[in-house]
Amino acid sequence: MAKFFLRKKIGDRVVNGHPWIFANELGDSDGTAEPGDIVEVYSYNGSFIGKGYINPASQIRIRLVTREKNEEVNDEFFYNRILEAWEYRKQIGYVENCRLIFGEADGLPALVIDKFNDHLVVQTLALGMDRWKTAIVAALQKIFNPKGIYERNDVPVRELEGLPQQKGFLSAPFDTNIVINENGLKFHVDIENGQKTGYFLDQQDNRRAIQHIVKGADVLGAFTYTGTFEIHAAHYGAKSVLGLDISENAVAQANKNAALNGLENIVKFEAMNAFDVLKQWGKEGRKWDVVMLDPPAFTKSRENIQKAITGYKEINLRGMKLIKPGGFLVTSSCTNLVPPELFLQIIEMAAKDARRKIRQVTWQTQSSDHPILWHVPNTQYLKFLIVQVM
């Protein structure tokens, strides 16, 4: 097995537990390795750091998968890691729908597996992980005996690893339009064509957090996607709910979800550009008791971080202007490039410009089936905030 040595003057990030090693952090090497091979990593003075897979074509040159020198990375290794992750989810109460594998947080960098009851969706986002896909599928079959496994590798990040975008069945074919249960409600999930892996599991705990503030309220939701927050609001006793999304397909799916739960008389969805209509309705003086904003990541690169800050501030400013005094703003950010402290500063700036005072009600992150490692900052990405707007 090839050996790679860290440079002497790099920081302690890798030694302290971060699994990513960038090209400029590597010095000498001993032996040769093909892209995707498992290699050993040592400090500059020869002490063992860990084993991981290498890709010279990637900015992240090596991703570590174990810190144990005697642990062999083989089919059994992946079976054990996936089983450990499943045992953890069961311990914290996620037995039906959950993020089964959350990459680095579960010791399997660049692997994402979502469990939708008896169906599993897999993403292998780096070359070294992609090479173990057969072992991963075999482990899933052995542990879960699922109704189906589907690959959603139709994501641009794979191209940075020299991998093609692709999607398809990793098991016998099955109907990829399924229905799941969440918080006493039912939702359609389009595994094949839905965003990401078909459904956003990371907000499932946060959707429960709105139950008290929406009772008897007129609720407006923007960037609704398939309407999960809005349908929860109706279920929790809202008087009326209007959900907006720019996608006609998302709106159609959201209306199907409302009908699936018998809530179509309370919640309506319309295809609109939220930025435009919220600004217009603000000028018209329209008001709601609760405004919910769940926008997509406004940037995926550090170069465009200012654009994201501007976008988050603008949409929250417009949302606050539509809230009756004493009403509530429910707002999120899903990009890890905007850290929690910065997101709170953005909301504060929006409140100042809207000339509204705010009072924090709830401040949360992603659901705990997406675990956070403190020494791996990118494992914490979702910010979820409820404030009262005075």
Q: Choosing from 251, 278, 334, 382, which is the catalytic residue?
A: 334
Q: Which two tokens stand for residue 371?
A: 């675990």
8 Å CB contact between 137 and 173: no
Q: What is the CATH number of the domain that holds 363?
A: 3.40.50.150
pLDDT number for residue 41: 97
288: burial class by Cβ within 10 Å (0-12, 13-18, 19+)? buried
12 pLDDT tier (thresholds 50, 70, 90) = confident
**Cβ 292 vs Cβ 335: under 8 Å:** no
pLDDT digits (tens, 9 = 90+) for 13-30: 999 999 999 999 999 999
> 365 and 292, same structural domain?
yes
98 is an active site residue: no
My answer on whether 123 and 258 are in the same domain is no
Distant-in-sequence, close-in-space partners of 363: CB < 8 Å, separation ≥ 6: 384, 385, 386
Distance, CA of 63 to CA of 110 (rounded, Å): 9
pLDDT tens-digit readout, 114-152: 999 999 999 999 999 999 999 999 999 999 999 999 999
Beta bridge partners of 324: none
Whether residues 87 and 105 fall in one domain: yes
Confidence (pLDDT) at 138: 98
CATH number for position 166:
3.30.750.80
Say whether both 118 and 242 belong to one domain. Answer: no
Which residue's entry shows tokens 């499932």?
Answer: 204
Identify the domain boundary among 66, 97, 112: 66
pLDDT value at residue 269 = 98
Same domain as 42, residue 90 = no
145-189 pLDDT, tens digit each: 999 999 999 999 999 999 999 999 999 999 999 999 999 999 999
Give per-residue burial for 353-381: e unless 16+ CB within 10 Å, then b: ebebebeebeeebbbebbbbbeebeebbb
What tokens appear for 158 in the block? Answer: 């794979």
- Do 158 and 252 have their domain in common? no
Q: How many domains does the chain have?
A: 3
In a domain, 191, yes or no: no
Q: Which CATH number belongs to the domain containing residue 44 in this structure?
A: 2.30.130.10
Q: Is residue 159 part of a domain?
A: yes
Do 54 and 84 sit in the same domain of this protein?
Answer: no
Confidence label for 298 from pLDDT (cuts 50, 70 and 90):
confident
Which of 22, 49, 66 represents a domain boundary (last residue)? 66
pTM given for the model: 0.96
* Percent of the residues in the chain that have a pLDDT greater than 70, as a whole number: 100
Cα Rg, the chain, nearest whole Å? 23
Q: Is the predicted pLDDT of residue 302 greater than 90, yes or no?
A: no
Same domain, yes or no: 218 and 302: yes
CB 224 within 8 A of CB 254: yes
Domain housing 232: 200-389
Q: Note whether 354 and 230 are same-domain residues.
A: yes
**Six token digits for residue 32:** 């040769």
